[in-house]
Structure 1
Amino acid sequence: MVNGDVVAIMARSGRWIRPQGSRVDAAPPVTAARPPRATVSLPLLGLFAAYLALVAAAGWAVVNLLPDRIAITALGHAVSLGELHRRVLQHGSILVLIVPGVLFAEMVFTGWRGTSLRHLLAVRSPTARSDLAIFALWQTPLMNGLIAVLSLGVTVISGAWLHDRLARLTGVSLSVAALPAAVQVLVFLTVFSFLDYWNHRLDHSRLFWPLHRFHHAAEEFTVLNSVRIHPAAFTSILSATLPAMLFGASPDVIADVNLFVITLRYVIHSRIDSDFGWVGRWIVQSPVHHRLHHVLDMSLPTGHFALMPVWDHLFGTWRPDAGEADQRLVIGVETAYRHGAWVGADIWRDYLDFWKGLRPATRGAAAEQGIV
């Protein structure tokens, strides 16, 4: 019996996962989680097809009816904005194509009751409201301003600009921009995923955990949990800046890889209970493995850091002993969070915790050198 506590079962592992302080007197039988079955009604499929047609028409209108460059005069100064087609299509594709597409796929595999959409709009738990609030912030210039201020400008440095500066200073350029697009994508994605893996490992270190903890604080998965990221994520410079700085791929390739990674991040935070088979073990991370990464129970070491699981296998963070997981697996962190639409308090508390955490490390390093 469970005395008023929420207890979740890790499917097929036989291991109980529960919030700290919960009590279990007797465990009911563990039932194996069935793989998701894709079922979709023809009206729903037709509705989504009509939506895609509207999106395609809007994309055609952007390219053919809007200028790619405009000049604006304000306060006596002329400002030119270029590459408008690419900017609008890239940002718009996230809002009107990628997110709706992942939500539709989720509905196909889970039905309405299991979807993020229902949890975000109907159930509206405090943790889901936080996801919505952060997602809304990301669509405004305010988030870019917060990132620039809280990260001290470190995370907004352009990798392409650094590549050009480095080439001028050293006379050496490792640019792959002249190679075929497919080769550029392979090189850039491989380097990105490798650096992103170590970026993520660094996020889980003692120093940077207070900032990454904000992402792990989510108590249930929704697709929008993907963007629940602290604006002062200093470590993102590894994966967001270094690949472009080192290899200087073409802007189109960088944009394509970026959209692929964004899509994958939305997928692995979805409520689809699938491990993707051998693809999820070696090629791209699955929702099941990422849910295991978010598990509250820390009786086993944290694993499954990589978007491309091959890095987990190579560096010993693949966790075959962790079993599998469905939506009953309890996720989150032990630190208490307010949650809800007002995310400012949690963001600020974690930011202060980060800087407080630096002081002992700084004093310890100084003491070893005889400075204090």
Structure 2
Amino acid sequence: MFEQIDINLLRMASFAGIFLLMALLEAGLPRRELRNGRLKRWPTNWGLILLDSLLVRLIFPIGGVGLALLAVDNGWGLFALAGWTGDTSRIWPGLVAGLITFLLLDLAVWFQHLASHKVPLFWRIHRVHHADSEVDATTALRFHPVEILLSFVWKGAVIVALGGPVEAVLIFEIVLNASAVFSHANIRLPLRLDRLLRFAIVTPDMHRIHHSVIHRETDSNYGFYLSVWDRLFGTYTEDPEKGQQGMEIGLGPSLTPRAHSFPFSLAIPFLNIPGRRNGGKDQ
């Protein structure tokens, strides 16, 4: 059931499907008029996405689901210590374990995102994501390779530490990719639908605020899928100060305009570039 090739194909197919759907909706129902279009931004964004994918496959061929399989087979993790054997044939114990695993993995991703803003070293790397001058479906996966590798190590460590159901990890991986593309998409949702969805999940209008140049707005709305963590920990912002149309995206004039360059984007973590960071100082 969990042959690696099947898992890879499933994840690729789900990502391709959600990306194509969001790209079509962006073309037909855009939320913001892009000042810097796809031809200017997408080559660099796609270059980073392809480089990240290649490095992860080369360095960590086993993947998150493979780690979950190892943990269950070897009795590793908190669930094993609590007496759960990995048997999902009994629906209720398996369902509860799966739900807990999903929630804790989503919380772990939220915490990692928070740390990437609060820890100066991590922020230097994470700036590559925020340097994009617009937010659309490709921004969802525009990350520096170093951040992608660190992210995999963190997520893998949490997966092994939990030792939860493999099915839950697979579902989480698919949902995380899909929700990242959805929350970054430049699509217009009816206001009432957006507000309704926000009670459970992160919407594009909610996450776009996180990409504002205004510090207090960037320092909010850290969620990728569930919106509950930002509400629970006091990092939720409902609307941007200048509105969705007037909000400026990126990291300001000292960095954002040059981020359309692929070589410059790769170099961002290693350069001392004037401009604010979430630690409150300039660098």
Class of the TM-score when normalised by the shorter of the 2 chains: 0.7 to 0.9
Tell me if the contact between 2:110 and 2:229 (Cα under 8 Å) persists in the aligned partners: yes
State the TM-score, normalized to the length of structure 1.
0.58
Correspondent of 1:209 among 103, 113, 123: 123
RMSD over aligned Cα, in angstroms?
Answer: 3.7
8 Å Cα contact 1:188/1:243 also seen in 2: no
TM-score, normalised with respect to structure 2: 0.74
Alignment of 1:1-372 (within 5 A): 83-95=4-16, 97-110=17-30, 119-120=37-38, 124-125=39-40, 127-138=41-52, 141-142=54-55, 144-145=57-58, 148=59, 159-160=67-68, 161=70, 167=76, 172=81, 177-179=86-88, 180=91, 182-205=95-118, 206-233=120-147, 236-237=151-152, 240-274=155-189, 276-298=193-215, 302-307=219-224, 308-320=226-238, 322=240, 325-334=243-252, 335-336=254-255, 338-340=258-260, 343-351=262-270
Distance 2:116 2:151 in 1: 9
Kept after mapping to 2: 8 A contact 1:174/1:246 = no
1:203 is displaced (CA, Å) by 0.3
- Give the 3-state SS of the residue equivalent to 2:259 in structure 1: coil
Hey, what's the Cα distance between the residues in 1 that align with 2:85 and 2:263? Answer: 41
Cα distance in structure 1, aligned partners of 2:246 and 2:67:
41
**Structure 1 CA distance for aligned equivalents of residues 125 and 45 of structure 2:** 16
Q: Which runs of 5+ in 1 are unaligned?
A: 1-67, 70-81, 354-372
Q: Give the share of equivalent positions with the same residue, in percent.
A: 19
Closer, same or farther: CA 327–162 of 1 in aligned 2, 3 Å = farther
5+ residue gaps in structure 2?
Answer: 273-283
Q: 1:300 to 1:270 in 2, by over 3 A?
A: closer
**Is the deviation greater in 231-240 or in 249-258?**
231-240
Change in Cα spacing, 1:166 to 1:220, as seen in structure 2 (3 Å) is same
Deviates more, 1:290-299 or 1:195-204: 290-299
Is the contact between residue 270 and residue 287 of structure 1 (CA under 8 Å) also seen in structure 2? yes
Are the equivalent residues in 1 in contact too, given 2:240–2:247 (CA < 8 A)?
no
For 2:176 and 2:83, locate their aligned partners in 1 and report how far apart those are by CA, in whole Å. 23
Between 1 and 2, higher relative CO (CA 8 Å, sep ≥ 6) is seen in 2
Q: CA deviation at 1:272?
A: 1.2
In the alignment, the residues of structure 2 paired with residue 303 and residue 114 of structure 1 have an alpha-carbon distance, to the nearest angstrom, of 23
Q: Which has the higher helix share?
A: 2
CA distance in 2, matches of 1:219, 1:261: 23
Residues 108-147 of structure 1, C-alpha deviations (whole Å, 9 max, x = no match): 5339x969xx942xxx12x3332122233345x34644xx
User: What is the deviation of 1:339?
Assistant: 3.0
Task: Find the aligned partners of 2:216 and 2:96 in 1 and give their Cα distance.
Answer: 42
